[in-house]
Amino acid sequence: MPIFKCPFPKIITYFYVAQKLKVNIKRIAIFGSTGSIGTQALEVIRANPQWFEVEILTAQTNDDLLVKQALEFKPNAVVIGDEAKYQKVKNALALTETKVFSGEAALEEVADFDTYDMMLAGIVGFAGLKPTLKAVQKGKVIGLANKETLVVAGDIVMQQAAENNATIIPVDSEHSAIFQCLVGEYKNPIEKIILTASGGPFLGKKPNFLVNVKRDHALQHPNWSMGAKISIDSATLMNKGLEMIEAKWLFDLKPEQVQVVIHPQSVIHSMVQFTDGSIKAQMGLPDMKLPIQYAMAFPKRIQNNFPRLDFRKYPVLGFEEPDVKTFRNLALATEALFKGGNVPCVLNAANEIAVWAFLRNRIGFLDMTAIVEKTMQNTAFIEKPTLQEYFDSDAEARNFAASLINL
């Protein structure tokens, strides 16, 4: 039975040294600062200037918001992924001391800086892998909101984290919940973890309804405020499937130790069952700022003004089995979890293409699952991929999925 590998000593040592030096402010590098995770992280930093300062900000295309953020938080460096917008950002920040970089390679370049204490990895999708891996190789503390990093190459990322003494603290609400449940339990074997899922906006619906679902309806999550891609993944239950794979690597579990239950209220964020049969759960209102703040402040818990859970407003907390016959993305992700190798990478690549097409009204809601399934069936299996083979599998799967949509 796996024993949770405690990542705490390095963090605790950091805070001990910080206290000795009377240095209390942690320097944060936010990769994906204009997205949902990044903007909420900046809300946390804005409310806690005594604890955090911004060292690096990055964005792919939203140059206007990136400039606005840079002018407020005064980072050492910013990266705009779209190279065509480099000059505009540079001109806008010309009177500041902020260094401006552009392009995909620049993400790895600034991830290699020594000037930040913690990376918040909030870039959506496969694009977040390379800079996150660079921070891992630097032995950094990483607040991981980019689940695709571990879905695609979890074996390599976790191995390099161990070799370089890097610490990964999950930011996803479910994995943060598990992490919190395991504090003080690192010598105690886990029997299983239970990931909760709201069921999304279409809980209880059948294929004859889902076939007519449009983009705007699918983006309306009942409990969480999230970006477009993760909202669609939540509607199809692919998000929960990706989280199963992420959990396997984060907590060193066997596939059969990862369970999903539908919990429509999103009050219990996830649970851990130990070998004595006892279960620990982490609860709270569905607000991403809480796991973001927890990851950035760990091992401290810092005061905030977030809304509090009132149990009197939740007389019933419900649980049920997921409908994997209707929401087959969860079944496909479970298949990828058990097969391993490059299959989760292929699953993720095909899903990113399918969601991209759905958000642009190129395909229907149920077509996303069909594209993922066909891509998994038609991409060569590699049992123990190298990092380059992961990149190659990603490209192969994207090309095949795109060919199904005539992109």
pLDDT of residue 102: 97
Q: What is the pLDDT of residue 406?
A: 78
Tokens of 273: 């069952």
Amino acid at 401: A
- The more confident residue out of 10 and 331 is 331
Per-residue pLDDT reduced to its tens digit, 120-159:
999 988 889 999 999 999 999 999 999 999 999 999 999 9
- pLDDT, one tens digit per residue, over 218-269 is 998 777 667 889 899 999 999 999 999 999 999 999 999 999 999 999 999 9
Residue type, 228: A
State mean pLDDT over 306-326.
95
pLDDT at 24: 77
Place of tokens 């065509």: 84
Q: Where are the domain boundaries for CATH 1.10.1740.10 in the chain? A: 340-407
**Do residues 101 and 110 touch, judged by C-beta distance below 8 A?**
yes
Q: How many C-alpha atoms does 120 have within 13 Å on its Cβ side?
A: 38
Q: What is the pLDDT of residues 382-401, one digit of tens each?
A: 999 999 999 999 999 999 99
Using alpha carbons only, what angle is made at residue 133 by residues 390 and 138, rounded to the nearest 5 degrees? 150
Range 98-113 average pLDDT? 97
* pLDDT of 11 above 90: no
pLDDT tens track for 50-73: 999 999 999 999 999 999 999 999
Indicate if the pLDDT at residue 8 is higher than 60. Answer: no
Please give the full DSSP string across 226-271, using - where no structure is assigned: --HHHHHHHHHTHHHHHHHHHHHHHTT--GGGEEEEE-TT--EEEE
Domain 340-407, what fold?
Answer: Rna Polymerase Sigma Factor; Chain: A (1.10.1740)
Q: How far apart are CA 285 and CA 290, in angstroms?
A: 9
Class in CATH terms, 8-172: alpha beta
Cα separation, 177 vs 154, in Å, equals: 20
Evaluate the CA torsion angle 325, 329, 332, 338 in order and state its sign.
Answer: negative
Q: In this structure, are residues 267 and 197 in contact, taking their beta carbons and an 8 Å threshold?
A: no
> What mean pLDDT value characterizes the chain?
93
Q: What is the identity of the amino acid at 344?
A: P
In this structure, the number of other CB atoms found within 10 A of the CB of residue 355 comes to: 25
* Cβ atoms of residues 67 and 94 within 8 Å: no
| Whether residue 2 has pLDDT greater than 60 | no
Whether the Cβ atoms of residue 117 and residue 26 lie closer than 8 Å to each other: yes
What is d(CA 226, CA 215) in angstroms, rounded to the nearest whole number? 15
Give residue 4's Cα distance to chain centre. 20
What pTM value is reported for the model? 0.91
Residues of the chain with CATH 3.40.50.720: 8-172
Cβ(107)–Cβ(87) below 8 Å? no
pLDDT at 72: 98
